[in-house]
Amino acid sequence: MKNILNSDYPAYFETYINHVQNDDCILAMEENLNDFIVFIENIPLEKYNYKYQENKWTIKDIVRHIIDTERIFAYRALRFSRFDRTPIPGFEENDYAANVDTAKIEMTDLLQEFILVRKSTIKLFESFSEVMLFAKGIASGNEMSVLAVGFIVSGHVIHHQNVIKERYLSN
């Protein structure tokens, strides 16, 4: 059911949405959950705290960012699905990252948290009727549909998985 229009989301999310190959939002989230866990578990332990550049995040920081972002986007989807048109402000991802010390968190704990958050997001999306999936709301000054949010959640993970492959594991 990837019948979302460009008008269903801000243009800067198109890359994330295009990363998702499955046309079913929930199946995409389930596949993405399993793929991401296997991907992270196959990274050598010594790479988890690696930064490819001084001002960049570690792989653990990226996983933390994915978890935080998914929570925020699930909240947006819930609000939009209930036809709440109150604009939701954006969030500054770098402030979130700067205020948590992932070096002290085990990757197994981060992955467990990711699993729980993703399963919660899947349950939330399973509860939405078709009418709810096409409901729209405003976040960060832009209108988007609930369904678009679902694809963005999966595409965001795929985006970061690609970044990890290209910038953290290629050397």
Phi and psi of 38, rounded to 5°?
A: -60, -45
Q: pLDDT tens-digit profile of 61-86?
A: 999 999 999 999 999 999 999 999 99
Is residue 1's pLDDT more than 80?
A: no
The type of residue at 135 is A
Q: Record the pTM.
A: 0.95
Alpha-carbon distance 134 to 143, whole Å? 12
Is residue 43's pLDDT more than 80?
A: yes
Is residue 2's pLDDT more than 70?
A: no
Alpha-carbon distances of 121 from 1, 55, 76, 153, rounded to whole Å: 17, 31, 11, 9
Alpha-carbon distance 81 to 146, whole Å? 6
SS (H, E, C) the chain: CCCCCHHHCCHHHHHHHHHCCCCCHHHHHHHHHHHHHHHHHCCCHHHCCCCCCCCCCCHHHHHHHHHHHHHHHHHHHHHHHCCCCCCECCCCHHHHHHCCCHHHCCHHHHHHHHHHHHHHHHHHHHCCCHHHHCCEEEECCEEEEHHHHHHHHHHHHHHHHHHHHHHHCCC
Could you tell me which residues are beta bridge partners of residue 88? 139
Superfamily of domain 6-168: dinb family like domain (1.20.120.450)
pLDDT, mean of residues 48-53: 94
pLDDT of residue 111: 98
pLDDT, mean of residues 124-149: 96
Are 60 and 102 contacting, i.e. CB atoms less than 8 angstroms apart?
Answer: yes
Q: pLDDT tens-digit profile of 85-132?
A: 999 999 999 899 989 999 999 999 999 999 999 999 999 999 999 999
pLDDT of residue 113: 98
